[in-house]
Amino acid sequence: MILLVPLDPVHDVGLKMIKRALEEAGHKTVLLPPDMTPSEIIARAEKIRPSHMLVSRTLGYQAEEVLARLADLADAAGIREQTRMIIGGMAVRPELAQELGFDAGFGPGTSPSEVVAFIEGRPAPSAECAHQRAKKDLTAGYTYRFKDESVGRLAEQLADELLIWADERTSPAVERAELRYAALMEGRSVGTDYLALCDEVVRAAYLTGTPPKKTRHLTVDEQRHLGMLGERQYVASRPRSHPAPVLFVQYGTGCPFMDVAHIKAAVAWGADGVVHFDPSWGARTEGLLEGWLTHEEDGSVITPENLRAIRQALEPWVLWQVRAHRGLNTPETVVLAGHAGADLTKINIAYGSLGGGTDPERLAVDGVAAMRWAAKFSMPFDIVTNEELSGVPAGKAFASMLVMAALAKKVGARPILQPLFCNSPEVMIGGYMSDNYVDFNVAKVQVLRDILDAPVWPGAPVGFLTQTEDRVQSSLMTGLHACLAGFLRADAVTIASSDEAYSGGPITAAARTDTLTAVLAAARFFGSCVITPTAEAERFKRLIYSQICDALTAAQKAPSFVQALYDGVFGSRDDGAHPGRNGRGTVRVK
Amino acid sequence: MTCIAVIGTAKNTGKTTTMSAIMNASSTEGIPYGVTSIGYDGEELDSITLLPKPRLYFREGVHVATARECLEASEAGFSSVEMLPLESALGPICVATVSKAGLVIVAGPTRSRHLRITAEALARRGSRLVLVDGALGRVSPASVVDLVVLAQGASRSRDVARLAGECSAIERLLALPVKHVSMPGRVTYRAAGRSVSLGTGSLMDETNVNTLLQRLSEGSGQILVPNAVTCAALSALGLCPPGLARGKSLVFADGIRLLVGNCAERSWELVQRLFALGFTVWVARSIPLLAVTANPYYPRLDADGTYRDAYVDKQLLLRALREAVTVPVIDVRESNGRSLMELVYKQWER
Amino acid sequence: MTLSHALSRVVDAIDIETFLLCGSAEEARKIALSMLLGLGFSDADVVSVEMNGPGARVRARTYVHRPGARYGWLGGADGGDVA
């Protein structure tokens, strides 16, 4: 028998929910009327002899005394041996329950099932979840079969040619990745052979210990704190009331400490995974650094130590992606990420060379090597298509993405398609979102689904160029875009913070929780409802599909995939895409 | 082993400061001792008022009983950690010995039987004194201790006369005469070869009491009450016809059980009425009041919604309390605990 | 709790959001910045401002801890102590 005691009539809704959950679990309950005095309650408890007494009460200075008296009376009446006393309500924490003399305390946000579990002596479902919650494999169940055979044939042919081409070549990054891997396996720092393949600023950092501008080494004390910070802020996974795609947030404040604080906050607010952002100069500089480094500007420096520190701070079930996609360190970043235990990475030759500033030839060689490393570490990667932001039409970006997917499949890797959900230049000029933000995004996902049986992960982040600096607008846009991904049964979604459109300073932790709150609230609102796009979506599908076919056909006619990139087949100067120059002329034929 | 509980009439009446004073004095005197709390000691700030709270500093060699997670979170270091078979809201309770001095978060047993087991475990470690910090206005677990120090302060009420009246009532209730009887598990009436019991061990309300009164016969007899007694029950007992009351002994387990309603003055008034009716009122076990500590501090809620430190006139408070009780009234902040230790010595001499 | 103690717990920034009666977004920006400066925060910026009708919805921000700085909440650093 469980006695339910509402000391506050206004706040007994929670108690009634718990009553229902207990009864469904087969327990007998008695709900007392509100406003009984402590001695009246204990008198009833003496008669009923409940196994548990659940008291709900909001707290204030006086309320504490009333609750304390209730526990005191129960003890003096000798019923504590048979009746466990539990307090629940606003501001209740275990420390307060202890001070009040109760056996347990549950604060706001406690689910009825947690209380039932406590009463039945089982571990709390959320804690159970946190421990047993397996990381979701986003690629599970996908065959990577091209459902559209004509597109598939073109993509596969281009991938085959690219593979043969790339395997005859090497680059400083490909060689550094090998040297880095050897060093990591032997637990040592990289040697002079590695430094010979680096830019001066990186070489100087190794040889003189001077970190690059705007970075500094963490002090020994800070390193110690960093280890502790991860342990101290253990975050239980918050059970979702409603299904939503696997939710990723980005971090990369520059500082590993701040990153850990942001990650912990994001995970506590419902994020399932986090994406590491490195500084933009990391993509333009040959060579990666070592040591515990903090950076004053956006992007957290990729070093073995920094990655390890972040890994240690992550709850075991949190998915972790380290981006490798765009720069001069792509294969080596995959090696570091895989070695540090990352679950996912990010690679796209086309985006990196058309929107990321890297020379197409160089990134083609590096990208293939990076995919092979990803396969070796069994680390799926997304093929991000952010070149759309420069003005590349969605269909052209998708064409190269599909070649990348075919390539990945050939080297044994598991790719994830990452279409953008964004109000891109193409969309703005074409007026594709003049009525709504739904149709074009629906068309993108459906086109990809019709072509290839592969996971889809809209990003990164969703809602690009739809958010303003107003945090309500920004959070709402993010929430709705994430829900759209949910309707489309996307496997995952990456969301921005409500600071997305603000460029005057670092993103704040509060801005991260803003959009997570919005996503979960929107998911709660829509539940399993479906959204119906207008007839325009079909038109957009046909448009994108023809762009894909045109681009793949044109690429096949080009001398090579790399040449097709230079020639603008997958995004031209007219579109707004410019082949990158970083690393030009560094590729060597073996 | 002597077990001393510091109980208060409310939150912020000076329990932890009193504890610190006794701990300091015990350390200075070289008396081996152990410490526990029936609540939670260790928060930097009061959860409601957000004002700083006193915390307990432990010297090396002192024994402590606290929840496992508190040991882990404490600044001090510990050796010989032993887990007791007792659960708290913060996990299992452990007994440990401080190996590196520092602040300790103390959260021990919250109920009587657990406190007894904990005090015995601290005694096994060689504690000659076991000090128990109270929580809020909770007193019940003090039923199992040997001596009580009462922390009275303006946090309870700004009305100094009321504070004095309450102390006086508590002293008197704790000083009820002792009748050595073996307590049954339930409320029992014994008279001339006859013994009847109620279904409960407590007198919580008038229904209990009326059932009891119906079983009473005229003439001598003993009413034994092993558990709690509320003011409502005392009040109902006061409606007993004088003919039935006369010649009856009312034996309560101890004075603490009369304090659990947190309305000592009313309880004392009602007990006096029982005497007047013809009952003689006893306790089965004496838990003497050692001293009263006075604390003029209270958290004042200001118009802007924040609490600020405030004080009533200290001299006025001390004078009022000293007039009200026969035991010493101590300003703990000034005496540094030595006077309290002297009182403990006197108890040991007896 | 002292102000510096309280500030040491701020993970990164403090935002002040309000609605200002004013004539233009530029005026709102100036008022919001002067408000933060007046409160003693020199590292101030306006994150968002939207002017409509009688006034502006404005959010101003001051960074207490920027990435790479030494954070009060790390403990030991600036007297902040995370228990």
Cβ under 8 Å to C: A residues 423-452 = none
Q: How many domains does chain A have?
A: 2
Q: What is the CATH number of domain C3-74?
A: 3.30.30.60
Contact: C83, B73; criterion CB under 8 Å: yes
B35 & B127 share domain? yes
B259 & B335 share domain? no
Token digits for A550?
Answer: 């045109």
Average pLDDT over residues B37-60: 82
Contact: C59, A470; criterion CB under 8 Å: yes
B193 & B304 share domain? no
Indicate which CATH number applies to the domain containing B207: 3.50.50
Task: Kindly state the DSSP code that residue A218 receives in the 8-state scheme.
Answer: P
ipTM exceeds 0.90, yes or no: yes
Q: Specify the pLDDT at position C78.
A: 39
**Chain B hits for A232, Cβ within 8 Å:** none
Q: Is residue A339 part of a domain?
A: yes
| Nearest residue in A to C64, CA atom | A508
B243 & B322 share domain? no
Domain boundary among B269, B285, B301: B285
Cβ(C50)–Cβ(C57) below 8 Å: yes
Q: Specify the pLDDT at position A131.
A: 39
B203 & B306 share domain? no
User: Per DSSP, which regions of A72-214 are E strands?
Assistant: 84-88, 104-106, 169-170
A110 & A158 share domain? no
CA distance A222 to chain B (A): 19
Question: Does residue A345 surpass a pLDDT of 70?
Answer: yes
Average pLDDT over residues B21-34: 94
* Backbone phi and psi for residue A459, each to the nearest 5 degrees, phi listed first: -175, -145
Cβ(B148)–Cβ(B30) below 8 Å: no
Query: Which of B33, B119, B124, B109 minimizes the C-alpha distance to B67?
Result: B109
HSE of A373, CA atoms in CB hemisphere, 13 A: 32
Q: How confident is the model at residue A316 (pLDDT cuts 50, 70, 90)?
A: confident
Q: Specify the pLDDT at position A458.
A: 96
Question: Does residue A343 surpass a pLDDT of 50?
Answer: yes
Q: How many domains does chain B have?
A: 2
Q: How confident is the model at residue A235 (pLDDT cuts 50, 70, 90)?
A: low
CA distance B127 to chain A (A): 24
Contact: A506, C66; criterion CB under 8 Å: yes
**Chain C hits for B50, Cβ within 8 Å:** 1
Q: How confident is the model at residue A232 (pLDDT cuts 50, 70, 90)?
A: very low
Phi-psi region of B269 (alpha: psi -120 to 50; beta: other; left: phi over 0): alpha
Which residues are within 8 A (CB) of C34 and not within 5 positions of it... i.e. 6 or more apart? none
B142 & B208 share domain? no
**Average pLDDT over chain A, rounded to whole?**
89
Angstrom CA distances, B27 to A162, B20, B55, B346, C70, stand at 80, 10, 17, 18, 40
**Chain B hits for C83, Cβ within 8 Å:** 44, 73
Q: Specify the pLDDT at position C66.
A: 85
Average pLDDT over residues A81-107: 88
Average pLDDT over residues A240-250: 76
**Three-class HEC string of C35-73:** HHHHCCCCCEEEEEEEEECCEEEEEEEEECCCCCCCCHH
B6 & B93 share domain? yes
Token digits for A254?
Answer: 């520059």
Q: Specify the pLDDT at position B174.
A: 96
Q: What is the domain extent for residue B271? A: 188-285
Domain ranges of chain C: 3-74
Token digits for B138?
Answer: 């909770």
Give me the residues paired with residue B299 across strands: B309
Token digits for A500?
Answer: 């997305």
B239 inside 8 A of chain C by CB: no
Question: Does residue A474 surpass a pLDDT of 90?
Answer: yes
**Average pLDDT over chain B, rounded to whole?**
92
List, for residues A516-555, the tens digit of each pLDDT value.
999 999 988 988 888 899 999 999 999 999 999 999 999 9
* Interatomic CA distance for residues A323 and A5, integer angstroms: 53
Choice between A230 and A411, residue whose per-residue pLDDT is larger: A411
Indicate which CATH number applies to the domain containing B46: 3.40.50
Average pLDDT over residues C27-53: 94
**Chain A hits for C61, Cβ within 8 Å:** 504-505, 508
B26 & B143 share domain? yes
* Backbone phi and psi for residue A566, each to the nearest 5 degrees, phi listed first: -60, -35
CA distance C1 to chain B (A): 7
Q: Specify the pLDDT at position A130.
A: 41
B130 & B201 share domain? no
Choice between A553 and A116, residue whose per-residue pLDDT is larger: A553
Q: Is residue B183 part of a domain?
A: no
Token digits for C2?
Answer: 């002292």
A235 & A177 share domain? yes
List, for residues B261-284, the tens digit of each pLDDT value.
888 999 999 999 999 999 999 999
Q: Look at A52-56, A309-313, A510-514 and tell me which has the smallest mean pLDDT.
A: A309-313
B162 & B192 share domain? no
Looking at the partner chain, which of C47, C61, C71 has a beta carbon nearest the beta carbon of A257?
C71
Angstrom CA distances, B273 to B171, B239, B242, B278, C6, stand at 17, 10, 11, 9, 54
Indicate which CATH number applies to the domain containing A116: 3.40.50.280
Average pLDDT over residues A85-94: 84
Indicate which CATH number applies to the domain containing A294: 3.20.20.440
Question: Does residue B175 surpass a pLDDT of 60?
Answer: yes
Q: How confident is the model at residue A128 (pLDDT cuts 50, 70, 90)?
A: very low
Question: Does residue B45 surpass a pLDDT of 80?
Answer: no
Q: How confident is the model at residue A127 (pLDDT cuts 50, 70, 90)?
A: very low
Q: Look at A191-200, A291-300, A392-401, B319-328 and tell me which has the smallest mean pLDDT.
A: A291-300
Cβ(B108)–Cβ(B65) below 8 Å: yes
For chain B, what percent of residues have pLDDT higher than 90? 76
User: Per DSSP, which regions of A369-507 are E strands?
Assistant: 381-384, 415-418, 420-422, 459-464, 492-495
Question: Does residue B221 surpass a pLDDT of 80?
Answer: yes
Q: Specify the pLDDT at position A110.
A: 77
| Nearest residue in A to B307, CA atom | A61
Q: Specify the pLDDT at position A133.
A: 53
Q: Look at A113-122, A386-395, A399-408 and tell me which has the smallest mean pLDDT.
A: A113-122
Q: Specify the pLDDT at position B282.
A: 96
